Amino acid sequence: MPRIGVFVCWCGSNIGGVLDCPAIAQEAASFPGVVYSTEYKYVCSDPGQKLIVDAVKEHRLERVVVASCSPRLHEETFRQVLRRSGLNPYFFEMANLREHCSWVHPDTTVREQAQRKAVDLVRRAVAKAARLEPLFPGKIPVVRRCLVIGGGIAGIQTALDVADAGLEVLLVEREPTIGGNMVKLDKTFPTLDCSACISTPKMVAVAQHPNIRLYTYAQVEEVTGYIGNFKARIRQKARYVDHSKCNGCGTCWTRCPVTVPDDFNLGLGERGAIYIPFPQAVPNKPVIDLEHCRRSTRGKCGACAKLCPTGAIDYEQKDEFVDVEVGAIIVATGYGLFPWEKVYGEYGYGRFRDVITGLMFERMVNASGPTGGKIQRPSSGKEPKTVVFIQCVGSRDEARGKEYCSRFCCMYTAKHAHQILEKIPGSEVYVFYIDVRTFGKGYEEFYRRVRDEGAVYIRGRVSKVYQDGSKLIVRGADTLLGEQVEIAADMVVLATGAVPAAGAADVARMIGIPQDKDGFFQEAHPKLRPVETHTGGVYLAGTCQGPKDIPDTVSQASGAAAKVCGLLLRDELETNPLVSKVNEALCTGCLACQPVCPYRAIQPVTITERLPGQPPRERVVARVNEGLCQGCGACTVACRAGAIDLKGFTNKQLIAEVDALCL
Amino acid sequence: MSVNESDVVTTAEGAAWEPKIVAFLCNWCSYAGADLAGVSRIKYPANVRIIRVPCSSRVNPQFVFRAFERGADGVLVAGCHPGDCHYVTGNYYTRRRLTLFKRLLEYVGFEPERFIVRWVSASEGQRFAETVKEMVDGLKHLGPQKRVSRV
């Protein structure tokens, strides 16, 4: 029996305020194998760690148990302490007294039960610790290349930062241009600097960067592998324009006879079937929308092919696949808008043309937008004199929308209000709000300025919007005055909340990132690991993780880039030693384990067996590739002969844990 | 299986009897969900003892049976929701294996409330707490497990 040391942590009053830590330590001293047992206020602190190092020396400890918080928080911290103490870092086990005991059983009425539970949890940890084996991580080489999925401002920033560090970057964007949502915006709050002026130079920098390979109009279809060694398959959708020949002269898209509503401008403008999304698009070369192209719908036209001076049009182009190897993946798939038309009948389900979304307003007020920057009613083209803004459309509405706050809507509405008051003399602006949230630097000052400029803020919900002649009547409540309000408006702008981008669930499944209850990607820790995921080598940037404004998005993107650099600038990676192992003496070679493995880590090998007094004979056994195995343990249960075990979670250890808990 | 009234109320020492539940939670979803219940200070009965496994597919039915054999009154296995497994397909195996195992347990006379498989994601602290509450209520009604218990 190895010599075990137990350290019970008070975690200040988090554990110590509920459980009797000295009593736990005292009881633990009687568990089999325990030669030393003590308690301390904060075991994870510097003096707490020293306590372990010293005790290992003084009491010749061979295994260490810390009874404190969740191993998901501090297991790695304490493994490092063991390393410093000269022990194998995997001679360590934790009992979770905080998250699983003191925090959930704080009442004095269940104190005795909680105390008993805590002792049981420590007994379990000691039982496992007694059966721990030394484990040694292997080394694998790292592919020094990073895949960035999504070419919005988050993807752009993160790609530039990684590329500037000297690493190769593959940036994949599904639209024909990079730029994402930010490039659609007109001005950005609170400084009112032009969004295009600050984002288009970055787009150009991406296109020209020697370390960045850009795939637009492309999608990642498949990801396999693991941290440091991923394989990805990129589908380059057919553009029907050979970009190696095209010089972007623009003859084709100005002469295309087809007109379709323009999705970049959210249907406010029109484009041809061959088009670039907007004049500053990167790459500045067109794609053909075959669904609307006259040559494909009616079988004749071909105007673009005839006009193209370089012969770049290729109607027969097919989707192509590119297989790449990367060491890390940054997911920056961004956000979409809450589908308010499906839910909010009181705003007309999208029937009224003069009820528009905030993003549509951005396109309208944008000098490069469909109206050339003129604010006008979509129904008549006339300048609106009275504009009503409605906040929290889809956000903060548990019943029909989302529970969360989308964070940026209060501020963009304030900016819209400012733009209307500035551009339309004599205009009136009303904003219906629940609360105004101005959390960022300079935001509150901006909001106050807009109120001073004359925007009328009404605290309350809108109950109905209806057409009356050429006007939209907005009926709502002013909850501060306790009155009904009715405003005859020319235009209504909805502050639609943010939701995960379309297809986020597919990306999550493909890469293996958990999603939170709203479909945003789940970070590894809400405070301390905000850009990492629980899948090693996969990082998050921007609004795919949750609604964010531009400064926060850019910061997170740079954070993710720093993490990737930290990973890829190493020569080798340590592999996780908690992997499956086949006992070849027991393995019958049935390979029932092989199809169970999601990582194709199990392969048959032929071994030569030499038994005493018998001629050597060959037989097939299963073997686990430790580089591919992720340590789920599904194979261990599938094995009929009981030949596979999972290191760190062995059958022996788990059964000892069960026994210890059922005493 | 009939339940003796006296078993339900007290133990030999006369204290109120409390069921003992062994829970196998996958590291990525359900263990994190139980952590979240802690972080969110969601209270639940102190009858559950948690064993961490990397994936619910690591849970060999043998472990469950061992727990019953050693006197557990109920066993919970929890993993990521189907489709959300950290190891891509692990919980599909869990679902198949343990459905079969649960049927076997019921066939040999275990009440269905004694063995529960539940999907609890990392964001479902509330669901974890409710699952424990529900199990404890069910087990209190059933009384101690004596079918295979050697204790």
Q: Quick: pLDDT tens for A28-74.
A: 999 999 999 999 999 999 999 999 999 999 999 999 999 999 999 89
For residues A56-77, b (16+ Cβ closer than 10 Å) or e, as one string?
Answer: beeeebbbbbbbbbbbbbbbee
The two tokens of residue A625 are: 């590739």
Does residue A634 form part of some domain? yes
pLDDT average, residue stretch A2-6: 97
Q: What is the CA radius of gyration of chain B?
A: 15
Could you say which of B47, B60, B70 has the minimum Cβ distance to residue A637?
B60
| Total domains in the fold of chain A | 5
Cβ under 8 Å to B: A residues 156-175? none
Tell me, yes or no, whether A210 and A313 share the same domain. no
Q: What are the φ/ψ torsions at residue A621 (nearest 5 degrees)? A: -130, 165
Interacting residues of A30 by C-beta distance below 8 A, sequence separation 6+: none
pLDDT in tens, A578-597: 999 999 999 999 999 999 99
Q: Is residue A663, in this structure, part of any structural domain at all? A: no
B86 lies within 8 A of chain A by CB? yes
pLDDT confidence of residue B59: 97
- Whether residue A658 and residue B43 make contact (CB cut-off 8 A), yes or no, is no
Q: Which helix (H) or strand (E) is A218 found in, with range?
A: strand A218-226
A255: containing domain: 239-318
Closest by Cα among A375, A397, A377 to A495: A397
3-state SS, residue A525: strand
Confidence of residue B6 (pLDDT cuts 50, 70, 90): very low
Q: What is the mean pLDDT of residues B103-127?
A: 94
Q: Is A354's pLDDT higher than 90?
A: yes
Report the pLDDT averaged over residues A305-317: 94
pLDDT in tens, A404-463: 999 999 999 999 999 999 999 999 999 999 999 999 999 999 999 999 999 999 999 999
Three-class SS state of B9:
helix
Q: Which tens digits make up the pLDDT trace of A126-178?
A: 999 999 999 999 888 999 999 999 999 999 999 999 999 999 999 999 999 99
A592 touches chain B (CB under 8 A): no
**Nearest Cα residue to A37 out of A63, A70, A11, A4:** A4
Q: Does B65 reach chain A within 8 Å, measured CB to CB?
A: no
- Residue A544 makes CB contacts below 8 A (sequence gap 6+) with A150, A154, A331, A332, A333, A334, A335, A500, A501, A504, A520, A521
Helical segments of A477-517, H only: 504-511
Residue whose C-alpha is closest to residue B117's, from B98, B101, B136: B98
Closest C-alpha to A159, from A203, A222, A200: A203
Residue A208 to residues A116, A150, A177, A215: CA-CA distances in angstroms? 65, 18, 14, 13
Cβ contacts of A516 on chain B, cutoff 8 Å: 123
The DSSP secondary structure of A570-585, one letter per residue, reads: SSEEEPPS--EEE-TT
Check CB contact of A534 with chain B, cutoff 8 Å: yes
CB A404 within 8 A of CB A335: no
Contacts of B55 in chain A (CB under 8 A): 632-634
Q: CA of B9: how far to CAs of A112, A451, A662, B4, in Å?
A: 18, 67, 20, 10
Question: Residue B49 is nearest to which of A121, A578, A637, comparing CB atoms?
Answer: A121
Residue in chain A lying closest to B129 (CA) = A104
- Number of Cβ pairs < 8 A linking chain A and chain B: 149
- A107, A534, A636 ranked by CB distance to B86: nearest: A534
* pLDDT tens sequence across A239-252: 999 999 999 999 99
A78 plus A211 within the same structural domain? no
- Do A626 and A537 belong together in one domain? no
Does A179 lie in the same domain as A323?
A: yes
Q: pTM for the full model?
A: 0.79
Contact partners, residue A419, CB within 8 Å, separation at least 6? A186, A187, A365, A375
- CA dist., res. A384 & res. A381, Å (int): 9
A340/A448 same-domain check? yes
> Where in A358-470 does DSSP place strands (E)?
386-393, 428-433, 456-459, 462-468
What is the structure's pLDDT at B3?
45
- The predicted-structure confidence for A467-516, as pLDDT tens digits, reads as follows 999 999 999 999 999 999 999 999 999 999 999 999 999 998 888 787 88
Contacts of A116 in chain B (CB under 8 A): 46
Q: Considering the domain B17-140 in this protein, what is its CATH number?
A: 3.40.50
Would A657 be classed as within a structural domain?
no
Residues of A in contact with B122 (CB under 8 A): 514, 522
CATH code at position A149: 3.50.50.60
Q: Work out the number of other CB atoms within 10 angstroms of the CB of residue B109.
A: 9
CB contact under 8 A, B58 and A516: no
* Residue B13 clears pLDDT 60, i.e. is over it: no
pLDDT given for residue B14 in this prediction:
53
Closest residue by Cα to residue B129 from B140, B118, B139: B118
The amino acid sitting at A191 is T
Distance from CA of B2 to the nearest CA of A (A): 23
**In the structure encoding, which two tokens stand for residue A598, read together?**
């999601």
Reported as a pLDDT band with limits 50, 70 and 90, residue B2 is very low
Stretch A102-116: mean pLDDT: 96
Query: Does the residue A574 lie in any domain?
Result: no
Is the pLDDT score of B16 beyond 90?
no
The verdict on A340 and A442 lying in the same domain is yes
Q: Give residue B10's pLDDT.
A: 52
Residue A357 and residue A430 share a domain: yes
Flag if A104 and B39 touch (Cβ within 8 Å).
no
Q: Based on the domain organization, do A350 and A469 belong to the same domain?
A: yes
State whether residue B87 sits within 8 Å of chain A by CB: yes
Distance in Å, alpha carbon of B101 to nearest chain A alpha carbon: 13
Answer whether A72 sits within 8 Å of B58, measured CB to CB. Answer: no
Band (B8; pLDDT cuts 50, 70, 90)? very low
Judge: A638–B58 Cβ closer than 8 Å, yes or no.
no
Q: What is the pLDDT of residue A349?
A: 86
Residue B5 above 50 pLDDT?
A: no
Does residue A426 sit in the same domain as residue A551?
no
Q: What is the dihedral of CA A173, A175, A181, A184, to 10 degrees?
A: 140
Chain B residues whose CB is inside 8 A of the A114 CB are 46
Same domain, residue pair A493 and A411: yes
Question: The domain spanning residue A42 has which CATH number?
Answer: 3.40.50
Test B34 with A646 for CB contact under 8 angstroms: no
Cβ contacts of A117 on chain B, cutoff 8 Å = 46, 49
What band does B7 get if pLDDT is binned at 50, 70 and 90?
very low
- In angstroms, the CA A68 to CA A66 distance is 6
With beta carbons less than 8 A apart as the criterion, state whether A585 and A185 touch: no
Check whether A191 has a pLDDT greater than 50: yes
Shared domain for A200 and A103, answered yes or no, is no
CB contact (8 A) between residue B43 and residue A70: no
Cross-chain Cβ contact B58/A633 below 8 Å? yes
CATH of the domain at A597: 3.30.70.20
Domain boundaries, chain B: 17-140
Distance CA A515, CA A477 (A): 37
Per-residue pLDDT at A512:
77
Within 8 A of B133 by CB-CB distance, chain A residues are none
**Residue A479 structure tokens:** 């909850």
Task: Look at residue B83 in the predicted model and tell me its pLDDT.
Answer: 78
Domain shared by A565 and A600, yes or no: no
